[in-house]
Amino acid sequence: MTNSILLPCNRGSILLPVEAPYPTVAIANSTDGEIIKSMPTADGFVQLRRDVQDNEYDHVSNVSSWRTNIVTLADQGNFRYRQNGEAPSLADSDASIRTLELDPVDNGGVVIENHCYLPFGVYLTSAVSYRIRRYEDGIVLERRKDNFYDWTHIKYTSINELHTLVSELADRAKMVCLEQPHHTDIQAAIETHHGCTQHAQNPSDQERLTRRLTNPPSTGMNRTIPAPAPLM
């Protein structure tokens, strides 16, 4: 199974559904090299953790709420998130959620392994959206010009070719897609994407940590960017 990691690189956010059926969601952190994954269960969601290069996950926690699940993932990955186009507080309830976004900024991206990770989308700072979802017996990549337009089909393919759609989405959105990377490859790809070639050659853990502490990321999805229309 191809393990694709989509790095938005400050070009936009990851747009998630707000109603069941909920997908598996996994994030990859470029600083510590961890993948944190949440999976739906009969009574909520289970969160698991592993190193990028490991095969086995360790149990982290169980949560009952979809929103709390995503907020926790964002916090653990040092990502940003938006609810209804704004950064919500922990006191906000689940009742009025229309859209939910994960914004990895420059701290990593999301992992897509198989169709259990669908649907998901990306919402660009230009207000263009892309999504990948199940469609008939396969999967489809779609585009929405802005919130006032319907989704249009771009490419339909088999479930086994999911990684090719993730790669095409990355190309169209000018993001970065990596397959089976080491966490230093993730950081190098992010910095190369931004032209930071002086740090692009597998920096040490201490160098990455120092840059993370001295140069906190700024989110590309701020309040000046309108809330997206719902993913589904």
Q: Which amino acid is at 82?
A: R
Give the side-chain half-sphere CA count within 13 A for 3.
13
Compute φ and ψ for 183, nearest 5 degrees: -65, -25
Show me where the domains of the chain are located. 4-214
Q: Which residues of the chain have pLDDT under 70?
A: 1-2, 89-95, 183, 194-223
Q: What is the pLDDT of residue 219?
A: 45
Which tokens sit at 195? 């032209």
Give the per-residue pLDDT at 221. 66
157 pairs with which residues across the strands?
139
Q: Looking at residue 94, what is its pLDDT?
A: 58
pLDDT at 54: 79
User: HSE (CB half, 13 Å, CA atoms) of 80?
Assistant: 20
Amino acid identity of residue 156, one-letter, is Y
pLDDT at 223: 63
Q: Which residues of 38-69 are buried (b: 16+ CB within 10 A; e: fewer)?
A: bbbeeeebbbbebebeeeebeeeeebeebbeb
pLDDT number for residue 197: 37
Cα dihedral across residues 123, 68, 108, 116: positive or negative:
negative
Q: What is the pLDDT of residue 7?
A: 92
The answer to whether 59 and 48 are in contact (CB under 8 A) is yes
Q: Which residues contact 173 (CB under 8 A, 6 or more apart)?
A: 8, 11, 12, 122, 124, 128, 130
